[in-house]
């Protein structure tokens, strides 16, 4: 039986993008189903009854929830040339640590820039500190960060910051990520994101 | 060279207990160093400069941070008879999902019962709902939940709830966990915890 793989997500979700990148890196064929979070589908509610959140990966009818868990699941289920996580236990642990750091810090802080009115300035400052931490740490580490760093242009615009001048190593790494087909494919056009955020903020 | 394993933690930390259980299950010899979170040691700051939090596992001088990542690291570094996570990728993903659920929901909500004045009642109600979710899900799942569920008596007392009557399956499972030497050893005596929380709440 051929594998049936379905991904439930929302186009703007960085967590969903990470899973899409993982699937594409592994050359797994999957059906993408865009979800409406204001009107959740019965499939989403059935497949993630606990958190009712995207992304949900459905493999042969069985759900896998939480983006980092999905990436590990994909790596283990389709072992192949494009290994996503390092095989050395210590390096694996470090990769997971930084992926978790990005989830807890970068994504949460970045969202505050456009989701919480009045917090833009404070959140931008915090985000820059967090990015500088990554700038210092960046070596040949595995972050699953490509999708996050593809948003640099958006952070710059809405957070009124210049990541390129403050974090040149991270910027260069983000550019290398964007050259990968899987990353470029998963990221929405920045124009679409800009319009979306502008509408939420009610600014031009 | 023999492995040098050090664990930095705080006696009352459920996250630290999980890591201790994992080490004991694997029969790894380690040195436990109790930390003072109000006066952080230079070793803690050096080994976890990013979050400055416990538990930190130090293996031959190299730190591994975040409790769930530590458990996976321990499982991969000392593969042996007591496998902590299932080897099937789907079952592994599910085990990680529930461990993450416990971290995000059970531990956070339980802490609100004694850490945030005035929230005891609301938090107790939420905690019971969360435990009921686990009650429904519980089968032969791997949770790393032993240390959490060893606290049932404490939840009952401070949350004014009766977990045994509402969640009999979970209670039976918690009791089985407590029969394991590794779990019993990692859990502080409940009298010590009761005194500690009573002092924080300023109640008898």
pLDDT tier, A147 (very low <50, low <70, confident <90, very high otherwise): low
**pLDDT tens-digit readout, A74-117:** 999 999 878 888 888 998 898 899 888 888 888 888 888 877 77
Q: Among A51, A89, A102, which would you mutate to test the B interface (most chain B Cβ atoms within 10 Å of its Cβ)?
A: A89
> pLDDT: is B10 or B200 the higher one?
B10
| Residues of chain B contacting residue A66, judged by C-beta atoms under 8 Å apart | 96-97, 100
Whole-structure pTM value: 0.86
Q: Is A96's Cβ below 8 Å from some Cβ in B? A: yes
Interchain CB distance below 8 Å, A96 and B69:
yes
| Residues of chain A contacting residue B72, judged by C-beta atoms under 8 Å apart | 92-93, 96
Interchain CB distance below 8 Å, A96 and B70:
no
Question: What pLDDT does residue A106 have?
Answer: 84
Interchain CB distance below 8 Å, B97 and A62:
no
**pLDDT tens-digit readout, B134-144:** 888 876 665 65
> pLDDT: is B12 or A75 the higher one?
A75
| Residues of chain A contacting residue B64, judged by C-beta atoms under 8 Å apart | 90, 93, 97
**Confidence check: pLDDT of B162 > 60:** yes
How would you write chain A as a 3-class SS string? CCCCEEEEECCCCHHHHHHHHHHHHCCCCCEEEECCCCCCCHHHHHHCCCCCCCCEEEECCEEEECHHHHHHHHHHHCCCCCCCCCCCHHHHHHHHHHHHHHHHHHHHHHHHHHHCCCCHHHHHHHHHHHHHHHHHHCCCCCCCCHHHHCCHHHHHHHHCCCHHHHCHHHHHHHHHHHCCHHHHHHCCCHHHHHHHHHHHHCCC
Mean pLDDT, rounded, of chain A: 86
| Residues of chain A contacting residue B89, judged by C-beta atoms under 8 Å apart | 73, 76-77
% of chain B with per-residue pLDDT over 90: 34
| Residues of chain B contacting residue A71, judged by C-beta atoms under 8 Å apart | none
**pLDDT tens-digit readout, B169-181:** 888 888 888 888 8
Mean pLDDT over residues B135-164, rounded?
A: 74
Q: Is B126's Cβ below 8 Å from some Cβ in A? A: no
Q: Is A129's Cβ below 8 Å from some Cβ in B? A: no
Mean pLDDT over residues A27-33, rounded?
A: 95
Mean pLDDT, rounded, of chain B: 86
pLDDT tier, B147 (very low <50, low <70, confident <90, very high otherwise): low
Q: Is B92's Cβ below 8 Å from some Cβ in A? A: yes
């Amino acid at each position: 039986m051929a594998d049936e793989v379905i991904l439930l997500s929302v186009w703007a979700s960085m967590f969903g993008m990470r899973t899409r990148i993982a699937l594409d890196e592994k050359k797994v064929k999957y059906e993408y189903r865009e979800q409406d979070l204001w009107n959740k589908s019965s499939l989403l509610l059935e497949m993630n009854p606990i958190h009712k959140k995207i992304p949900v990966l459905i493999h042969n009818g069985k759900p896998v929830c939480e983006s980092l868990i999905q990436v590990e699941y994909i790596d283990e289920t389709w072992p192949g040339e494009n290994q996503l996580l390092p095989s050395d236990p210590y390096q694996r642990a470090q990769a997971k640590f930084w992926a978790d750091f990005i989830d807890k810090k970068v994504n949460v802080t970045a969202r505050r820039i456009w989701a919480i009115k009045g917090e833009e300035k404070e959140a931008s400052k915090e985000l820059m500190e967090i990015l500088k931490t990554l700038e210092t740490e960046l070596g040949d580490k595995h972050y699953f960060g490509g999708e996050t760093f593809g948003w640099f242009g958006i952070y710059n615009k809405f957070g009124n910051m210049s990541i390129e001048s403050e974090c040149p190593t991270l910027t260069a790494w983000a550019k290398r990520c964007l050259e990968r087909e899987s990353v470029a494919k998963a990221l929405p056009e920045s124009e679409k994101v800009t319009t979306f955020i502008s509408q939420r903020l009610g600014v031009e």
